[in-house]
Structure 1
Amino acid sequence: MTPSDEILDIVDENDVVVGQAPRGEATARGLRHRCAFIEVRDAEGRLFVHRRTPGKLVFPSHYDMFVGGVVGAGESYDEAALREAEEELGVSGLPRPEPLFKFLYETAGHSWWSYVYRVRCELPVNPQVEEVAWHTFLTDEELAQRIDDWDWVPDGLEAYHRLRAFRPAGTAS
């Protein structure tokens, strides 16, 4: 099965399941579905940042400050957050990501409910080569210096700005 064949729950504006569709169809038709975004920080509090591979279905070769992805049909946001974080980081035994907030990401071509999480990963990472072309850990200051210079995934950038507004000033994790 390819990622395009993965079955997703299709949801309405209130995040209520109204049907199911293959991921490729949901993407092509702009059907609203669910995604999990996980902010990953290492033992020093630095943020995991990566560039997506060129073969990604959505936003190929863009930078992202979150790991994560779509929530499969019948899967909870919490289940998807742990699964996606472990898959993309190439680790097992990660602590359960902490749910922070949910928002609806909507543009002319895309629509998904986005649940933002955070987790501390003190394990050595070995990112999934199908998902991650390049990675590093950056301080908040180093990330801020790159925000305007790198091509970021637009949904991740929106989640980043919402997360900064969500947190009290001066807190990273």
Structure 2
Amino acid sequence: MSAAEEILDIVDTADRVVGQAPRGEVYARGLRHRVAFILVEDGEGRIFVHRRTAEKLVYPSHYDMFVGGVLGTGEEYAEAALREAEEELGVSGLPQPTPLFRFLYENGDHSWWCGVYQVRCDLPVQPQASEVDWYAFVPVDELDRMLTQGAWAPDGLAAYARLRAAEH
């Protein structure tokens, strides 16, 4: 089965499942679905930052400070958070990511519920070439400076702004 054929849950504004559709249709019609975002930190507290590949359907070639992806039908946020973090980082044996918060992201044709998590990764990473063009672990102050340069995934920016606001 291709990624476009993967079946996703369609949810309402309260994050209740109201149907299912193939990923390709979900994206084409802008149907609301679920996504897991994982902020990855190394043992020194640096954050994994990457640039998405040009082939990504949503926000191609954009920088992001979260790894993650869509939840399959019936999948729980926590389950997807661990699966997506390990897949995108190219590792196995991560601890279960810690849930931080959920929020509804809406921007033009895009609408999804975001389950935001955090995990520490002390393993050597080998990010998926199909997902990640460039990556580095960067200190928070450097990440904050980087946000003024280049194109950033707006959903990641929205999640990061909420995270930073909760810290203060």
TM tier, smaller: over 0.9
The equivalent of 1:151 in structure 2 is: 151
What's the secondary structure of 1:48's corresponding residue? strand
What's the secondary structure of 1:157's corresponding residue? helix
TM-score by length of 2: 0.98
How do 1:16-165 and structure 2 match up within 5 A?
A: 16-165=16-165
AA aligned opposite 2:118: R
TM-score by length of 1: 0.95
Q: How far is 1:6 from its partner?
A: 1.2
Q: How far is 1:57 from its partner?
A: 1.0
Over 4 Å off, 4+ runs: none
AA aligned opposite 2:53: T
Percentage of pairs with the same residue: 67
Structure 2 gap ranges (5+):
none
RMSD of aligned C-alpha atoms? Answer: 0.7
Aligned partners of 1:48 and 1:2: how far apart in 2?
28
Q: How far is 1:107 from its partner?
A: 1.4
What's the secondary structure of 2:84's corresponding residue? helix
Aligned partners of 1:37 and 1:115: how far apart in 2?
6
AA aligned opposite 2:70: V
Aligned partners of 2:96 and 2:54: how far apart in 1?
29
Q: How far is 1:2 from its partner?
A: 2.0
Question: Deviation per CA, 1:29-83, whole angstroms, max 9, x where unpaired?
Answer: 0100000000000010000000001111111110000000101111000000000
Q: How many residues align?
A: 168
* 1:8 correspondence with 2:8: yes
Structure 1 gap ranges (5+):
none
